[in-house]
Amino acid sequence: MATIEPAGRTAFPSAPFTVDDLLEFPDDGNRYELFNGSLVVSPAPSLLHQDVIFLLQTILHQAAPPHLKVYSTVNVRPSDKDLYIPDLVVVSRDRAKAVKLMLAPSDVLLAVEVVSPSTKLHDRGTKAAAYAAAGIPIYWRIEPFEGPTLYIHELVDGSYKEPTAHKAGTTVNLSSPYPVSFDPADLIDD
């Protein structure tokens, strides 16, 4: 296999990549994900992006029943050629204790992505399709520049049905993966 040798770094394999290849990549502040062996590199999230993640994680953590946990930026490994890093996930406490580095998609009850200008096409299309194909039952997409707006995608017969949109200024009362209520406006710290 050919290798890529970026300036100042050791060589690592070229595409198509595997999860094992990805584990050899540098810890340089970028987020490296794999979709069918194709590498997707994202820069560190913006401050707004981080605020939305933190505020939603706080809301979800406070509402979570004792048997569930909320985590940010964890590895989800559907196959040797796929590795996803959702902004937030909800998993069972038992699975969280058993997993060292990578969750299986079957461990994830909810995956959440906060859309940034640089990731909007990926979060709206590629990740939604990949999460559905992996069997993740619920996918939330937060669009901070739409007020913000929360889009909820629910898995039905192997694909996500048309998302339900919840705009800022209205309280969302959700039952899955557990009961939680909030206004999407609460995700922006003005």
pLDDT tens profile 14-32 = 778 999 888 888 888 788 8
Structure pTM?
0.88
More confident: 31 or 168: 168
Provide the pLDDT confidence category of residue 13 given band limits of 50, 70 and 90.
low
Q: What angle do CA 23, 43, 97 make, to 5 degrees?
A: 45
CA distance 141 to 123: 7
Which residues are CB-neighbours of 62 under 8 A, at least 6 positions away? none
Cis peptide before 43 (omega within 30 of 0): no
State pLDDT tens for residues 74-88: 999 999 999 999 999
